[in-house]
Each structure stands twice: as C-alpha cells, then as structure tokens.
Structure 1
Amino acid sequence: MSKLEVPATPLESIPKIASSLRHTFASNKTKPLEYRLTQLRKLYWAIDDNKAAIAEACMKDLGKGEFETYLTESGWCLNDIIFVQRNLAKWAKEESAPDIPLMNKAMSPKIRKDPLGAVLIIGTYNFPIQLTIGPLIGAIAAGCTVLLKPSEAAPAAAAVVQKIVEAALDPSAYAIVQGAVPETTALLDEKWDKIFYTGGAAVAKIISKKAAETLTPVTLELGGKNPAIITKNADVRLAARRLLWGKTVNAGQVCVSQNYILIDKEVLPGFLDQMAAAIKEFYPNGVQKSPDYGRIIHARQFQRIKKMLDESAGKILLGGEMDEADRFIAPTVVQVENEHDSLLADESFGPIIPILPVPDLDTAIRIANDVSGTPLGLYPFGNKKETARVLNETRSGGATVNDAFFHASIPTLAFGGVGESGQGAYRGQASFETFTHRRSIVTTPNWIEGLLSVRYPPFAGTGKMKQFRAMNDMKPDFDRNGKKTPAGIIRWVLTLGGKSAGRGLIRWVVLALSIAGYQRYTGKEITSLFR
C-alpha cells in the first residue's frame, strides 16, 4: 500500500476534533443560508485553483490522464457546486404539507428542512476527489458540520483534498482526518448524526454495525456485480464501444461499471469483432503506452484481479497483458462457460470483461437475477420492448439503457444503490436531502379551541364521535371488490369527507360554526379555516 503523503492524524486528537464539530453545530453557525453559500463558493475556487494539483495527484495514485481526471474529478465537482448553490435557496425553503384535510388547514402544517448535525464522510480511492468532495458539497449545503476522511490508498489525492479543505472552509465547522484503519476506527467510536461511506461491502458492514450502537443513520454507496445484457436485436457496434469505454475508465476501477456481459449467442461473433476494433481505435499505439489509460491503485488490488483471472475456467479472447511493476492490466475479454465462473462470483473492480453467451433473453434475465441480486447498475442493450422487459424483471440501484453507466455521470440525477449495493442516494438535490431532516411542524391557533373541543372527554353520550367523523372521515372512491367508483368533480367538492354526496360540506360548515361560535370569533378567522 502506498505511503501517506501527509501524516496520519494523531489518534488522541480525534475526540477533540469531533467534539469541536458538534459544538460548532450546536452554536447554529452553519445554519444560515448565506453561510452555506459562502462556504460552497469558496470551495469552488479552491478546487479550481488546484486543478493542476488534482491532475498530478490522480496521475500519481491511479495513472489517470488529464482529460479523465477533469471529466470524473475536478470538473464534476465544480459543476456540482454551481448547480447546488444556484438551487439551494429553493431546496431549503419550507414546504406546505401536501393534500391537507380541510380540518387541518388552520394549523398551517409545513415541512422544515433542518441539517442533521455533525456528520462523518469516509471517501474512497477510485475517484478520490469526486467521491470525497461530492458528499461534502451536499453536507455543506444542508448546513451540517463535517469530518472528512479521505482514502489512505490514494495518498497524493488525500493530500490535495486536505489542502483544498483547509484553504477554503471554516476550520471550526469542517475538519479532515488522515490515516488508515486505526484513525477510521477512532472516528467510528465518536457519535455522529450521519455517516456517509463509499467503498466495499465488507467495510460497510463494520460501519453499519458500529453505527447501530448509537442509532446513527448511514448512507452506503457500494459496488455490485453489475450485469450488461445484449439481446439479438442490439446494435453490437455501439454496445462494444460503449461497454469498452465503461470498463476502461479508471482502468475498470468503477463501482458502477459492468462486471460481466450476458449476450445472445447469435450476435457474439459480431460483438467480439467490434470490441477488437474499438480497442484498436481507442488505443492506436497500444494500451500500455496510452496516456489515457489508468493503472491499478496498488499491488494488493493488482494481485486480487490477477487471481480472479487465473482461477477462471474461461478463455481469454482479447487482451490479457499484465505488468505488475507498472500496475498495468490491459482490457481483457474472457468468454466464460457458466455463471459459476470466478469472474462472475465477485466484483472484479478492474478491466476484466467476462462474456457469457446465452440462448435467449429469458436465460439472461434469470442469470442476472441469480448472480447479481441487487447490483448498483444494470445495462440492457436491445430494442425498446426487450430493454423495457429487462428493467421490469430485474432490480438495481440505477440503470442505463443502451450505454454504460451514463446515469451515474449526471450530477443532477440521484445516485445510489439498493440492497447489497448500498442504501441512500446523493448527487444534486439528493445530496442536500441525504444530510437533511424533513421536520414536520404545525401551529395550532388559540381561536380554534372551540372546534378542537371535540377531541376532549367526556365522549360517551355526547355525540362527539359523530361530530369527529363528519369532520375527519374521507369517503372511499372504490368498492368492496377494489374497483374504482366514478365520482364527478361536483360530488368530490361537495362531500369533502362527509358521509353522503351533497351533505358533507354543509354538515362540516354548520358543525364548525356551531362549535367555534360565530359570535365569539371574527368572520375573517372563521373564513381562514376553510381556505
């Protein structure tokens, strides 16, 4: 594993850092909208000022080229900040409760957007800028204080993240801890109001178990054995190019790239021809010599991927070249015999492309469900009817039809897993919401006490049950067989919860006036009850 380029945070200082963040949040310093906007805008310029340093760090850690780094790291974060700060006032605004029963309108029910509190964000190495700063953007927007823990596996990027945070953000509200397992363990011993983790399922289980001890909510962004399905009606040229791109971005170290391809056996030869042509087109001077192809993060991951390939019973059709000293693994297409092959058993998280020919779409869907469970991504290629069927008969965190993980590249589209691939979502407005508590609030006016007296005992022999049901009960618009019953707009307006058409509104108005006492309240007050 790479050596840290910044020193690990002293373990004894972590409780004090966490306590300081809790204290700052309790002071309400981070809640004003203008404060949050200022922090976001300063973060934007700090990232912009360090684009060259980010590019250098990602090249050093992952062999990423300048274009790919801008596309997936710095440029992504810059655009997300602009989008979030433009829309933050709208997102943070209180909402009126939807579909309020007439009885409750006087209480002005609303939903307030409150920050969750002091939150812990644990980043990962494959996109060490985007997947660390991306959640930070949402936490700042929500009004939380934040402890940021970058991945120690990408030390150069972790150092740049620290530089950016310390240059841009209020140190009393946003802190960074560097280190590995001991430091992360110490962080998990602290009480947080939310933990956001991006990484693998094994660590996610440890975090979830620890968070459960203090009933701390978690957002988990994990990986998955993501299937691509190519039907006999798919455009194999586009499928080959797009899936090759998806598996060569970041040398395949993308949690949402396809883990294997299920392809109709009729179109397999044409697909392989197109895949070979695409490799030559993308890397005309050879993959290893290309400045646009990344490297495996470190030797341990290199050996893990190599072992998966060595244990496979499949046949290498394209690629297969490796150079451990350079941490290089070429895009490698492997035809496997069945769904039990080692390359399908676990997420490869590398540039390995297993292909399993199938006789029909029924078989492909069955295998995808059996092997993948609830993957992070799903990629069907075919005609509209076929792809619609795949989406309907499978589950996944997200999906892109006729392409590789395009849904994950749109920063304004909520991104997250389900089941084994994670829980919760973020990106754009979803980032704001994942660190926000939707707090329901009502205000009961003094003048409505007469109407509310129906809820106070005694009840027996008072007729209050009848009064309450007249005010509160909604009339079903379906019969006992579950069939929808016709109801015109006039009937809907007149009943408004009454027992029969025409009498509901009249009964409600008469009851309200009699209980509230028209003589004791102004006409304006009574009128407001029915708005």
Structure 2
Amino acid sequence: MESMKLPVFKTTPVDDIPTIVSRLRNTFYSQKTRPAEFRIKQLRKLYWAIDDHKEELVEACRRDMNKGYFEAMAGEVNWVQNDIVFQTQNLEKWMKDEKPADIALTNRLVSPRIRKDPLGVVLVIGAFNFPVNLSFGPMVGAISAGNTVLLKPSESSPNSAAVMQKIMEESLDPDCYACVQGAIPETSALLEQKWDKIFFTGSSRTARIIAQAAAKNLTPIALELGGKNPAFVTKKADARLAARRLLWAKTMNAGQLCISQNYILVDKDVAPSLIEELKVAMKEFFPDGAKKSKDFSRIINTAAFNRIKRMVDNTSGKIVIGGTMDAEELFIEPTVVLVDDPKDSLIVEESFGPLIPILPVDNLDQALQIANETHATPLGVYAFGSKEETKKILDGTRSGGASINDGIFHGIIPNLAFGGVGDSGTGAYRGKASFDCFTHQRSITTTPGWMEKLLAVRYPPFYGTDKLKQFNKMGFLTPDFDRNGDKKVGWLWWLLTLGTASASKGASRAALVAGLYVAITMLMQRRALRPGLA
C-alpha cells in the first residue's frame, strides 16, 4: 500500500475564503439546491465517488493513524455510503409538509402545516479520529436538507482530508459544495464569515471558540463533543461480558473515540473478576500483542501521545494490564490501571486513548455520586448489571445516550439519532436526524377570503363588546385540573376510585364492593329524579 499515490494536502489561501462563501450563498439564493431530484442526484454521485476511491480512503486512514482495513471500511467508508442510501431512499418523504396535531377545529380552516425549508449556507468542521465519517456524515445530512455546504476537514488527518477534497471536486456541483483545507488561520477566517448553521465535531475547548464566534452573528450551532463517559459494572453484572464489550469499545481506533468509556466504576467484590476477564479478552483480541496487530491504531500525533503518557505518569494507580508505549511509533498499548481515588488523573481527565482506569466502589449509590461529580452530562453512559440496577443508573445519570450491557452500541447504529447534552454537545444527527438538523420547520397558514366574516371578531373596536368571549371560543382551553394541581374528575369516577383505593390499601374486598354499590345506587336515584334522562 505504501506505493499507492494519494493527493497532496494543500492549504486553501485565506484570501480565497470570502469568495468561496459568497459563491455558495449566491447559489443558495438561486434555489438550485431546493428540488429533491437535485439533492438526490448529488448524493448518488457522492456515493459512487466514495466507492471509486474507497481504497485511497482506506490507505489515507492507515497513513493518518494506522487504522486497520476493517475499521476503515466499516466505520468510515461503508458507514457514509449506508447513510447516503438511507437518505436518498427517504428524502422525498421527509421533505413533505406535515400537518400539526391537536389543532383546534376553527384553526384547521386556515390549513396549518409545517414546511421543511433548508437553513441556507452551512459550515461543517470535521474531526481527525474518524476523518471520513465525521466529515462526510454531517455533510450528507446538510446536502439532503437542501443547503449549500462548505466542508473543513481536520488538518490532523491530512491524507484523509486530501482524498475527501478530491472526491468532492470530482462528484459534487462546485457552485453548491466546497472544501477548504487548513488549520487555525483558515478556520478563524471561516468563522469570520456569516453562516446559517455551523456543525462542529471535536473538543470542548475548540467548541467554546466556535460558539463565541457564532454568537456574533446569532448563528445556530450543532456541537458533537465528548466527555468523561462512565461505565458501571455492578455486583450482579456478568464480568466476562462486561470485560469483552468494554475492551472492544475502548480499543476501537486506539481509544480515540469520543463516545467510549473514560473509566469503569465497579463493585469492589467484582473488581478482581473483571480484571482477570480483561486479561483473557486482551489475549483473545490481540493474541500477538496490540503492537503487532493490524487492527490496532496509533495515536494521531506526538502532542496527543505525550498528553496520554502524562496522564499515566501522574496517576497514583497501579497498572495491572499493558502499559507499553513507543513514542517513535506513537503506540500506546491498551492499559488497565487500578485506581483508588475519584480525583485520580485518569478519572477526572478525558484520556481519548487506550487507557482503562478501574475504580472499585462500595455500592451503586457511591458510583452514581462519583460519576455525576466527575462529569454531569457525558456523551455516553454504559451500565452492566441487573434490570433493576441498570434502570437505577439511567434514572440517576444524564448523558447524550446510553448502552445497557454493552459499550458504545447506541452510537454505532447508523440511523439512530446521535448527539450530546450539556457539556457533551448540543443537537443530534444521523439518519433522519441529519435531515432535521439542517432543516428549518417553517409553520405556514393559508387564510381563505370567505373567512372574513368569521374573523371579524379579531378586529377593533373591542370596548363594550363580547368579542373576547367569541374569540376564546375559537381555541381557549379550559383546565382539567384544580388549584392544587390535581386532575379534575366527575363524581361517579371519584366514588369508583374511592372504593378501589380502599382495596389497594389492604382493606377487605367488601369495601370495594360497597363502594361500587353506593355509586350504582346513587346513579339510579339520580336517573329516577330526572325522568327525561334516557
């Protein structure tokens, strides 16, 4: 593969950026991207261009971070292709106007509907760890929604970025879609432009810079970040199952995955078994060692390598598995560290690497407290245990998503909405959520001329008239609750449930029967007093 020739990464001149953005905006105003046929055609062309250059994409991922063939195809190339097929097959259905629910009868006369409009000119800023997936993925949704798009791939994966630019230029309409390459100067120049939405995947530090820049123009943003994601292994968990699934999640892309667990909170009685099962799983996954495996990636660059190494150097924990590092090859072996302090560097910092700290806890309540104090809104939560225990974990935590008895599975289902909450991001995409992410739901009404007499109630003068009463009849809702916040119910229902409540509190079945008897008797008496009642 070394002999395969890849396109060269070339930085886009900063002075060219305003012209590129202006071209995209003029195209959007021309309504060229509005028709469904145009969007679908562009996506189909992109699909086949990706297919034609898939070997180059795989090789680019290998050169950028030693990503294996399986991961590059399944997690990058095929993933995007699958998304394109799904989008094109469903786009016309998604674009149709929707009828809103629960509209008052009088308001239905104006034909209320929700129209799906593209937002405009969109900036997509990709990430290095899954350079193809996290760049083309959101871009596909933006194209599907009818926007013009500028893609800025990560400069930290230059080979992948160069191949993606080549694919775009060969397949997509240049007046509608463009690719800008570069680092901080080019990104800063992009952020000075006016956008209708910015989609960013990356670190929370960079996200704050992007959010501040977007705020100047009131630009809406979608942020896909990361977080110190906790995994819980309870006393009732299957240690072998938890070990295999969490190791799989943490060794994918050498742990450079925003959604993988950052640490494992394990019941102290289960901790020894979990560590032993991790040793067994490690030998099964990498029989000749991770360094010799073609399926184990490398750290993206020296700065990231040194940061991860520093975390290990600063821990007070004990390395129980792995620990080998090679700065020249940017290799860090999957490393399991047994820690005893919730404030340990491996717990409070996000590793974004193949580190697996394990913190034994006394009970699940303690585990939940540590997780919430460490990071209140992570991107993912992973719970291993009984149904009752995993429910308690879901109830006691917040996160962008969660996988029960598994690691990261909720994040790898292509058509399941994916996104963070709070510190782990805002907005969601993938599948239909990608279309929705870049679409404005525009409420529309059409008022016919013949309704003018009916609408006279809204015109002044109002003083001394009953127009407010007439107007409220068109849609003012009467509360079905009292001042105490309790649901209002009829006298018959009250009597029936009174008897039921008595029975539920341990009263005899006779109390329930008596309650029903009284209710029926009162109903019959009431009917007798009202001869006209059928």
Structure 2 length as normaliser, TM-score? Answer: 0.90
Map of 2:168 onto structure 1: 165
Distance 2:376 2:475 in 1: 44
Pick aligned residue for 2:486 from 480, 483, 486:
483
Map of 1:393 onto structure 2: 396
- The answer to whether the 8 A contact 2:104-2:474 is kept is no
Report the Cα offset of residue 304 of structure 1: 0.5
- The answer to whether the 8 A contact 2:10-2:162 is kept is no
Alignment of 1:100 onto 2:141: no
Q: Which amino acid aligns with 1:463?
A: D
Alignment of 1:32 onto 2:31: no
Report the Cα offset of residue 484 of structure 1: 2.3
Map of 1:176 onto structure 2: 179
- The answer to whether the 8 A contact 1:312-1:342 is kept is yes
Map of 1:505 onto structure 2: none
Report the Cα offset of residue 111 of structure 1: 0.4
Pick aligned residue for 1:370 from 360, 368, 373:
373
Distance 2:52 2:39 in 1: 20
Map of 2:508 onto structure 1: none
**Residue identity (%):** 59
Which structure 2 residues correspond to residues 232-311 of structure 1 after superposition, within 5 A? 232-311=235-314
Distance 2:486 2:446 in 1: 38
Distance 2:117 2:450 in 1: 29
Query: SS where residue 67 of structure 1 aligns?
Result: helix
Distance 2:10 2:78 in 1: 28
Unmatched 5+ stretches in structure 1? 489-531
Distance 1:243 1:428 in 2: 26
Alignment of 1:193 onto 2:229: no
Distance 1:348 1:469 in 2: 59
Map of 2:386 onto structure 1: 383
Distance 1:463 1:401 in 2: 59
Map of 1:512 onto structure 2: none
Alignment of 1:142 onto 2:140: no
- The answer to whether the 8 A contact 1:227-1:262 is kept is yes
What's the CA shift string for 1:474-526, capped at 9, x where partnerless? 222223322223479xxxxxxxxxxxxxxxxxxxxxxxxxxxxxxxxxxxxxx
Which segment is superposed worse, 392-401 or 475-484?
475-484
Map of 2:118 onto structure 1: 115
Map of 1:84 onto structure 2: 87
Alignment of 1:326 onto 2:332: no
Distance 2:489 2:108 in 1: 27
Report the Cα offset of residue 411 of structure 1: 1.1
Which structure 2 residues correspond to residues 418-433 of structure 1 after superposition, within 5 A? 418-433=421-436
Distance 1:303 1:19 in 2: 41
Report the Cα offset of residue 228 of structure 1: 0.1
Map of 1:64 onto structure 2: 67
Map of 1:527 onto structure 2: none
- The answer to whether the 8 A contact 1:112-1:438 is kept is yes
Quote the RMSD (CA, aligned, Å). Answer: 1.3
Report the Cα offset of residue 363 of structure 1: 0.3
- The answer to whether the 8 A contact 1:477-1:487 is kept is no
Query: SS where residue 290 of structure 2 aligns?
Result: coil
Q: Which amino acid aligns with 1:264?
A: D
Distance 2:348 2:395 in 1: 24
Q: Which runs of 4+ in 1 moved over 6 A?
A: none
Map of 2:223 onto structure 1: 220
Distance 2:167 2:10 in 1: 16
Pick aligned residue for 2:412 from 390, 409, 428:
409
Query: SS where residue 407 of structure 2 aligns?
Result: coil
Query: SS where residue 266 of structure 1 aligns?
Result: coil
- The answer to whether the 8 A contact 2:113-2:443 is kept is yes
- The answer to whether the 8 A contact 2:107-2:474 is kept is no
- The answer to whether the 8 A contact 1:331-1:352 is kept is yes
- The answer to whether the 8 A contact 2:402-2:410 is kept is yes
Report the Cα offset of residue 98 of structure 1: 1.4
What's the CA shift string for 1:314-357, capped at 9, x where partnerless? 11000000111111000000011111001112110000001100
Q: Which amino acid aligns with 2:197?
A: K
- The answer to whether the 8 A contact 1:149-1:177 is kept is yes
Q: Which amino acid aligns with 1:284?
A: P
Aligned length, in residue pairs: 486
What's the CA shift string for 1:62-117, capped at 9, x where partnerless? 11110111111001111111111111111111001211111201100000000000
Distance 2:379 2:474 in 1: 47
What's the CA shift string for 1:458-481, capped at 9, x where partnerless? 112222122222333222222332
Which structure 2 residues correspond to residues 446-525 of structure 1 after superposition, within 5 A? 446-486=449-489
Distance 2:85 2:187 in 1: 31
Distance 1:474 1:373 in 2: 38
Map of 2:47 onto structure 1: 44
Distance 2:20 2:46 in 1: 21
- The answer to whether the 8 A contact 1:222-1:376 is kept is yes
Q: Which amino acid aligns with 2:303?
A: R
Report the Cα offset of residue 264 of structure 1: 0.1
What's the CA shift string for 1:262-306, capped at 9, x where partnerless? 000001111111000000000111110011111001111000100
Map of 2:159 onto structure 1: 156
Alignment of 1:340 onto 2:360: no
Query: SS where residue 433 of structure 2 aligns?
Result: helix
Distance 1:100 1:23 in 2: 38
Distance 1:344 1:168 in 2: 45
Q: Which amino acid aligns with 1:394?
A: T
- The answer to whether the 8 A contact 2:64-2:158 is kept is yes
